[in-house]
Structure formats: C-alpha cells, structure tokens
Homo-oligomer: A and B are copies of this chain.
Amino acid sequence: MNNRPDYRDICEAAMRLKDKSIYTAVLSSPKINEQVGSEVFFKCENQQHIGAFKFRGAYNAIIQLSDLQKKNGVIAFSSGNHAQAVARVCQMLDIKATIIMPNNAPDIKRRGTEILGANIIEYDPLTENRETIAQQVNADNRLSLIPPFNHPHIIAGQGTAAYELASDVKNLDQLLAPCGGGGLLSGTALAVKGLQENCAVIGVEPEMADDATQSFQQGKIITIDYPDTIADGTQTLSLGEITFGLIQSHVDDMVTVSEAMIKEAVRLLFYNLKQVVEPSGALGLAALLERKTPPANRVGVIISGGNIDGKMMQKILAEPSIT
C-alpha cells in the first residue's frame, strides 16, 4: 500500500475487522424522514467499541504492525476517542499502549483510557511541548506511533463503517459524514464510491470549525485557530495531506451547520432514534435539517459516536426544540 489508500484497502480492512469490530445497526425514524423529506439511514457508530468509529481505524493500523513492533508497543497523542480506541485495541491484542494526554483532558476520557490498561503520560499543554514529551518517552524510537487520521491504515479502517452501510442499504443518493481531521470522511468516500458510484458523498463541519470546507473550496489545506464548537470531535485545526488529497478527489461537497442545529439534531436522535449521540455524531442530521444538501430520496448518515457527558446532554435536552 502506498500512502494513498484506495477502495481495495477498504475491502481488506473490512475483512480484518470482521468479528473484531461491532457490525453496528442501521436505524431509521419515520418522524425524522417526514421532517427532512428524505428516507434517512443512520449508521450507529455510537454502538461501536469505545462508543465511536475510531476503533475501526486503530484496529486496522495496529493489527498490521510487525511482530516486533507489537512486542515493543505503541504510542498515541490524544485526549479523546482516538486514545480510547488505541487503548482498547491494545488491550484486545495484548500490546503495551502509551498515551500522551494533556493534563486538562476531561476526567471521564482520562479514566476511560486508563481503565483499558493504557499507560497515560500527562503533559501541561501551556508549558510543555508534546513532541518533546514524546521524544523523551520514545527516545530509542521503539514505540510505533499511531496517528489519529493522516495514515492510510487509519483511513481504510474508518471507511469500513460506510462500507457496511453502503453494502446493506442499496440505491443511496447521498451519504453524509462528519469531518474533523478527515479520516472518517475520506475513508467513507473511498468505500461509497467503490460500492455505489452514483451516491454523492458530502462532508459536514460545524460553521465554527470549517477548515476542511475552506480547504475544499480553495484547493489547499487551510489551518484555523482552535474552534469553539460543541462538536468536540471536529476541533482538529486542519486536514492532513493524505486526507485532504482524498477529499479533493472523492468527496462531492462540503457543507457547514450551526451550533443550534447540531443540538437540535442531538435532541431528535434522542427522542426518535433512542440513541445517545455526541454533537459531532449529529452533524449529518443537522445538515439535513438546515437544508444544506441537495434534495435526495435516500440518504445515509454516519453517526460517528456517542461519547457525550451527562451534563452536556442535560443542557441540550433542557433547550427547546427549534424545528
């Protein structure tokens, strides 16, 4: 495999993940269908191991390490779902995982990673540089770095969610996926174009974190300041080189949604689909509610994850409906 994965890599990742990842349910709601005017098929990656699609990429990357690399262990930087995904895969495969995490990471995420047996090394993001920490921890370069999105094995793994959806639900006109660093979106595009070439793939970002939309429109990678969005899974500052290239060549369009509509989508998924969905996972439905995408009969939506804390959900449920 060269640096840029293709459809065959998605198929191979799907074979590797068979019986390892959860083959997540596809759910629909007549009420949501009526409200948005399309038949919508939600792929529920909130039901995936560790509550997010990130498990898929981490597994597909770590399982392909050499025996020596597996014996030496892996390292990752993350305060979020990627950390838990790497920790969970390493727990399954009996590999030593070291996670470099800022000391201001939410306690729930730190504990979620710790409980999976990972060795957590904290740093102070205000005074310390995480690359320096990593160099100290990995001075002899024995640990294999598992990047969060800009890696062909990660991208191929993330694409298997859409591979399952587009295998099970035929004749999709449109498929919507959230976009942070672009691993999920680029993998999704490869999978969908391989299975249903006439299905449009559209990436969705919060208005507050529209670096990928800007990059897509301007034809170059745009970096933004740390974005203040409720959708914390999309707070990445820029796409990677590989994900950007794939998005340019395989994604049909990028759209943005308001913070208010992201919260409305979380509420509708709670009431109608009975699913706990984190704000990033609700971006696709938010785009449909805001009519940001062309009219379509059959729409697939990737619900990327469900790791939302109770306080956040209380706050969202307490707000009145806006649709």
A→B interface (CB under 8 Å) = 24-25, 27, 31, 46-47, 51, 115, 267, 270-271, 273-277, 306, 310-311, 313-314, 317-318
Contacts and interface: CB of A to CB of B under 8 A. Distances in A.
A310 B317 contact: yes
Nearest to A25: B25
A271 B108 CA distance: 11
A283 to B, nearest CB: 17
A273 B274 CA distance: 11
Given A31-B115, A313-B313, A306 B274 contact: yes
A213 to B, nearest CB: 28
A201 to B, nearest CB: 25
Contacts of A310: 267, 270-271, 317-318
Contacts of A277: 274
Contacts of A46: 274
Contact of A47 (B270, B274, B318): B274
A51 B274 contact: yes
Q: Which 8 A-B pairs have the closest CB atoms?
A: A274-B306, A310-B317, A274-B276, A46-B274, A25-B25, A314-B314, A314-B317, A51-B274
Count chain B CB atoms within 10 A of each CB in A271, A273, A306 and give the residue with the most: A271
